[in-house]
Amino acid sequence: METQSENACFGGVQGVYTHRSDSCDCDMTFGLFLPEEAKDGPVPVLWYLSGLTCTHENAMTKAGAQGWAAEQGIALVFPDTSPRGDDVADDDAYDLGKGAGFYVNATQDPWTPHYRMWDYLAEELPSLITGNFAVDADRQAITGHSMGGHGALTLAMGLPGRFRSVSAFAPISNPVASDWGRKQLTAYLGADESAWAAHDSSLLMREKGFDGPVLVDTGTSDQFIDLLRPEALAEAAAARRQQAMLRMQPGYDHSYFFISTFMEDHVAFHAEALYAG
């Protein structure tokens, strides 16, 4: 692992690190904010998964999360959204290929060799971070935006017991029924739709739910709201009687202005769960 940068930030350190990924078979870069409390021992951690076209850098520089995390004594992880490198398959469209890994393990060519973002985030990167930094593996929470909200919800429900809480900003909530989903799931996983179900948070909510608190914010003026399908997740949560706050925020769109407005709420929401018990 190589240190790309480390900057003092709200009493802690915002670092950027690169390492060779066995899961993705390429070099991967991630951001990690450690609050001041990490000098004295392991701290809880909140994972933030970004959306289409993003890298580790978008949320790290635009979400305004570090100040709120510093107040709560929580670490933040900002992973990349896909594998990178000259030999990694890509597509001319912004919503497939690099920057659009969709947090799945691809089973179809040409994506199979590198696009294993589920394994990367479920196993490899957590092990790397808890093994090298003062982060508490037993106190983890997860959030994300858009494609990353999809990833946060599916990882939380797909890895029972891993995360104490889950939240999302404008998640792609029902990709099996959306053009933001059907295209990518077909490309990465093939035409058999039974393989898609593990990566649809509305279907997972009906089948499994989440053993903990859930918070989802979506803007009523989100320009992609028909692709996000927040109503599908709300219906699934109601049917399961899941503990959840699913909020429609009047006038907000899909941008980081929306995310930064409600980031304090989300960090505080996760802090309550991470420090409980």
Averaged pLDDT in 10-residue chunks for the chain of 277 residues: 98 98 98 98 98 97 97 98 97 96 98 98 98 97 98 98 98 97 97 96 97 98 98 98 97 98 98 93
> Given its phi and psi angles, is residue 181 left (phi above 0), alpha (psi -120 to 50 degrees) or beta?
left
Q: Where are the domains of the chain?
A: 2-274
Three-state secondary-structure class, residue 249: strand
Secondary element (H or E) of residue 16: strand 12-21
Question: Which pLDDT score, from 0 to 100, does residue 13 have?
Answer: 98
Question: Which pLDDT score, from 0 to 100, does residue 53 have?
Answer: 97
Question: Which pLDDT score, from 0 to 100, does residue 109 have?
Answer: 97
Which residues are known to be catalytic? 146, 222, 254
Question: Which pLDDT score, from 0 to 100, does residue 262 have?
Answer: 98
CATH number for the domain formed by residue range(s) 2-274: 3.40.50.1820
Secondary element (H or E) of residue 2: strand 2-9
71, two tokens: 């107040």
Which strands form 244-249's sheet, in the order they lie side by side? Answer: 2-9, 12-21, 26-34, 75-78, 43-49, 135-144, 166-169, 214-219, 244-249
- Whether the model pTM is above 0.95: yes
Question: Which pLDDT score, from 0 to 100, does residue 51 have?
Answer: 98
